[in-house]
Structure 1
Amino acid sequence: MNQLLPKDFLIGGSFSANQVEGGLRGTGKGLSTADCFKLTDRSKGGSFELSYQEVLDAVKDTQDQKYPKRRGIEFYTHYKEDIRLFSEMGFKALRLSISWSRLFPTGEEETQNEQGVDFYLKLFQELKKYDITPIVTLSHFEMPVHLAVKYNGWADKQLIALFTKYARFVIDTYKDYVTHWIVFNEIDATIHIPFVGAGIIPERTENLEQTKYQALHHQFIATAQTIKYAHEVNPQSKVGCMATKNLKYPATCKPEDCMQFFNETEIDTFVTDVQALGEYNYAIKQYFKNKGIKLDTTEEELQLLRDHTVDYVGFSYYASLVTSFDKTNADKTNANLLVGEKNPYLEVTPWGWQIDPSGLRYSLNFFYARYGLPVFVAENGMGMLDQEDETGQVHDDYRIDFVSKHLEQLMKAIDDGVDVMGYTYWGCIDCISASTSEMSKRYGFIYVDQDDQGNGTLKRSKKDSFDWYKNFISNAMS
């Protein structure tokens, strides 16, 4: 196996604005949907949904300590220190997101919040100082909560114009610093967790199944319009999609299980098909027919999807599942956004996510064979209950083992002939959990001194995995 990565390989880390930034008060930022989530008891599995009343209560509540994503890890004030640490590790890329509500607090303003504009400008300048390529996600599980309350999020077609205005502003403002874009993080989240993915409040929705797929269509249109504009502003721009790789294997070699696996894979993959091929695939069309889902579309919109497809395919990969035709007695487990059938041959994390490094190689080959476009591992990581020892050190050999095995499989995929453009480890610095809003589920190479209630010094310190990743990058990119 070739132990070297391509010289232009984008290796580094990733996180989202809502999980790290903080900086809510006194900065002109508006509340986002992510700012409405309270700390959740881990034993209850976390939650990605809120009732309408919970959203309204959160908007009125100024007791920010109840809402961990309002504080993040205060990257807003610590970004220079954090970027310096990323540079020390040898990062070639940092995948991050922009908070829509930091630039346009309600999403409907005619003028932007200059404090927010200046923050991201200084952030990109700091990355350029260390020669770290930013890969910028325009919408990562947050939007101005005002748009969720007023329009029920992406259920309303008016969101297309509002988002496109925001996206164009970002592209125009930062075009000298950013050439790599992702429009929506894990866009399939709209199906699985509609409030987080699209600002949809289920109880305000008459037909949730219909509404979710219609909202997703609106996001596809916004994506195509953003791709078109980015290419007009800078023909060298690279705009990608990003979805959850819901990898499943047949539970057995019974033909019924294999057919179940095939059908589920085709349906799961339609979100990248629309963005990479410009078409809804046959499987999802049949699914719509069976479920009585009728999308409100125009021929002009469908042509826009065909004409403006992505330049690369990004995905998150954390775990795999199995599937069977007869699910009656199947053991269930979690895998990122999904709950599915458990694979008895795999180890699991404390959160029940199955560890399957070989699945990353499978996923890379799957996407490249299907689309023939560069493939990008936008997220891959391991959340654990890291503990400092008496000297303040975190010995996370389990994370080193996890990352090394996944990168080994990535290199095998490259040897298979797959055009892998990059790998950004998720949560490269400890951040607030997406599902439970807890701090104790830690992914990072960098430990942040903060507990679930927000107590701590916010001091950054290196875990054992910091030096391991640093050495890996140095050796693999030499």
Structure 2
Amino acid sequence: MVERNNFPDGFLFGSAAAAYHFEGAWDRDGKGPAVADVVPNGTRQGRTKHPEPGNLKHRAIEFYDRYKEDVALFAELGLKAFRTSIAWTRIYPNGIEEEPNEAGLQFYDDLFDELLSYGIEPIVTITHSGEIPLYLADHYNGFANKKVIEYYKKYVRTIIERYHHKVKYWLTFNEVNISDEMPLFSAGVTQDPSTMDESLHFQVFHNRFVANSEAIKIAKEINPELQLGCTTTIGPIYPLTPKPEDALQAFFETREMLFFTDVHAFGEYPDYKIKEVKEKNLQLDITKEELQLIKDHTVDFVAYSYYNSGVARHGYEDISDKDVNVISGLRNPELEENEWGWKIDPIGLRHILNIVHDRYHLPQMIVENGFSKIEEPEEDENGELTVIDDYRIDSLRDYLLELNKAIGDGAEVIAYTNWAVMDFVSGSTGKMEKRWGFIFVDYYDDMTGTMKRYKKKSFDWYRKVIESNGDYLFNKEIIHSEDEQL
């Protein structure tokens, strides 16, 4: 049976990155230090007191200096959209300045102009993980402090006023639902996590709900045509066995996983969460005005990262130190996993797309999804370095086919921006070895390499998918036979 192409005309086939992963120039042209600049290794490996040598993120892959040549590659790839972030500390180096840094504002003007000159739609994350100003983390305890909402509002107003005629799609935060797992990196909370009680964790949640709605309010006042979302990381959770107890546990865990999206989309706290707050007697600073703000300013679309699914078992307490993009510590025996222990579940993407559609009836964006691997380049017949990454082609094809089916099921999907467009410094490891991109970057964990960019085999494959608006996905045999002749 030949599958039907359900991708609509104008579908935003794209790819993604974020400022701290690839820009570099961490202290140039007025930029101040961000949280990522004191987290040299993985997000769970602790911080240094001050930025220190050896942090790969400081140089990253020099996109700040090479953005024109890189955007030209994005255009050759055929991207219809590119998701990136604005580094808050390029605009307000410490977060508290009265006036923004013009050099930082000009860089993003130039970047967005370059993207638009090639017809590439920018999708902009206002604050990606790790990009909260270090000053606001160290002096205010990040989003545990409501004063930070005011600094965030000023930053939001500055960039929306500057770029609203260039950027239509905005994401207020990245993977906002992981702040309880990594409070420093996600929310700028410098307090020792072992001293954070449930009340403080929930206060951070609430403060970011307020900040999200404040950003939406500001954006709509400036330009009502702008579209706002806030990303989470989610995936379906299956019962480990057919036992009713496991199915009920899967329901409870799914509901908890969608808590943030519920508030973003419905504008109110769900009944079960209100009941939980009362039963636990959480001590919170929540005002009626804040609740009304959250109610009045909800997201226009649902945006999320999808990397894997999870399983639930009654009586199982997940105390594993799992990666933040792993849905559960339990292993699904029916699925293979990659070298990072992430379960590979393309069908789960169709599953979660349908769950989100049925629950919210809003457009959706898949803003992160992809395949990472330790890769070694090899020379092609022309002596140029490349990577023969058929595994990435097969993986992304499987995901995109399930996305296509979900659109056929009725889900409205605006964009797919896979993680990532090119190799850069991994957030979860702080290294280059975890490679995600269509473009190989000649740079390594020991800080050697030329920084030269090389197209992987998947580059040409994704170009053909985009230029055919998805048609190229539907005959695997032809794809591989053609690619072998490249």
Q: TM-score range by the shorter chain?
A: over 0.9
- Secondary structure, aligned partner of 1:226: helix
Following superposition, the deviation at residue 205 of structure 1 comes to: 7.7
1:72 aligns with 2:74: no
Separation (CA, whole Å) in 2 of partners of 1:328 and 1:227: 36
Query: Equivalent residues in 2 for 1:233-248 (5 A)?
Result: 233-248=222-237
Query: Equivalent residues in 2 for 1:90-105 (5 A)?
Result: 90-105=78-93
Query: What residue identity is the alignment partner of 2:109?
Result: L
1:348 aligns with 2:337: yes
Q: Cα deviation per residue 1:26-84 (whole Å; 9 max; x = unaligned)?
A: 32110000111123xxxxxx44363xxx442x24x3x2xx1111111110011111111
- Secondary structure, aligned partner of 1:222: helix
Q: Cα deviation per residue 1:4-33 (whole Å; 9 max; x = unaligned)?
A: 521121111011101010012332110000
Separation (CA, whole Å) in 2 of partners of 1:304 and 1:452: 45
- Secondary structure, aligned partner of 1:284: helix
Partner residue, 1:85: 73
CA distance change for structure 1 residues 71 and 302 in 2, over 3 Å: closer, same or farther? same
Partner residue, 2:403: 410
Separation (CA, whole Å) in 2 of partners of 1:447 and 1:109: 38
- Secondary structure, aligned partner of 1:387: coil
Using the size of structure 1 for normalisation, the TM-score is 0.93
Following superposition, the deviation at residue 296 of structure 1 comes to: 1.4
Partner residue, 1:28: 30
- Secondary structure, aligned partner of 2:415: strand
- Secondary structure, aligned partner of 1:165: helix
Separation (CA, whole Å) in 1 of partners of 2:277 and 2:172: 25
Query: Equivalent residues in 2 for 1:417-432 (5 A)?
Result: 417-432=410-425
Q: Which moved more, 1:389-398 or 1:182-191?
A: 389-398
Determine if contact 1:16/1:96 at 8 Å carries over to the other structure.
yes
Q: Cα deviation per residue 1:317-374 (whole Å; 9 max; x = unaligned)?
A: 0011101003289999756155521001111111010100000001111111111000
Partner residue, 1:177: 166
Determine if contact 2:5/2:470 at 8 Å carries over to the other structure.
no
Q: Cα deviation per residue 1:191-217 (whole Å; 9 max; x = unaligned)?
A: 221111101123288433221210121
1:186 aligns with 2:171: no
Partner residue, 1:280: 269
1:48 aligns with 2:44: yes
CA distance change for structure 1 residues 332 and 209 in 2, over 3 Å: closer, same or farther? closer
Using the size of structure 2 for normalisation, the TM-score is 0.92
Query: What residue identity is the alignment partner of 1:192?
Result: E
Following superposition, the deviation at residue 407 of structure 1 comes to: 0.1
CA distance change for structure 1 residues 221 and 334 in 2, over 3 Å: closer, same or farther? closer
Query: What residue identity is the alignment partner of 2:245?
Result: E
Partner residue, 1:396: 389
Partner residue, 1:462: 455
Q: What percent of counterpart residues are identical?
A: 43
Determine if contact 1:181/1:239 at 8 Å carries over to the other structure.
yes
Determine if contact 2:174/2:232 at 8 Å carries over to the other structure.
yes
Separation (CA, whole Å) in 2 of partners of 1:231 and 1:388: 47
Q: Which moved more, 1:384-393 or 1:307-316?
A: 384-393
Determine if contact 2:308/2:345 at 8 Å carries over to the other structure.
yes
1:437 aligns with 2:430: yes
Determine if contact 2:367/2:417 at 8 Å carries over to the other structure.
yes
Following superposition, the deviation at residue 124 of structure 1 comes to: 0.4
Q: Cα deviation per residue 1:405-464 (whole Å; 9 max; x = unaligned)?
A: 000000000000110111001121111101110001000000000001221111001000
Separation (CA, whole Å) in 2 of partners of 1:93 and 1:81: 17
Separation (CA, whole Å) in 2 of partners of 1:284 and 1:271: 11
Separation (CA, whole Å) in 2 of partners of 1:72 and 1:143: 18
Separation (CA, whole Å) in 2 of partners of 1:211 and 1:328: 22
1:19 to 5, 18, 21: 21
1:375 aligns with 2:368: no
Number of residue-to-residue matches in the alignment? 464
Query: Equivalent residues in 2 for 1:57-456 (5 A)?
Result: 58-59=50-51, 61=52, 63=53, 66-141=54-129, 142-203=131-192, 206-327=195-316, 334=323, 336=325, 338-391=327-380, 392-456=385-449
Determine if contact 1:37/1:68 at 8 Å carries over to the other structure.
no
Q: Cα deviation per residue 1:129-167 (whole Å; 9 max; x = unaligned)?
A: 001100100010121101100011001010110000000
Runs of 4 or more, structure 1, over 6 Å off, are 328-333
Determine if contact 1:20/1:75 at 8 Å carries over to the other structure.
yes
Partner residue, 2:468: 475
Separation (CA, whole Å) in 1 of partners of 2:263 and 2:319: 32
- Secondary structure, aligned partner of 1:421: strand
Q: Give RMSD over aligned pairs.
A: 1.9
Q: Cα deviation per residue 1:98-145 (whole Å; 9 max; x = unaligned)?
A: 010111100000111111111100000001100110010001012110
Determine if contact 1:18/1:72 at 8 Å carries over to the other structure.
yes
- Secondary structure, aligned partner of 1:24: coil
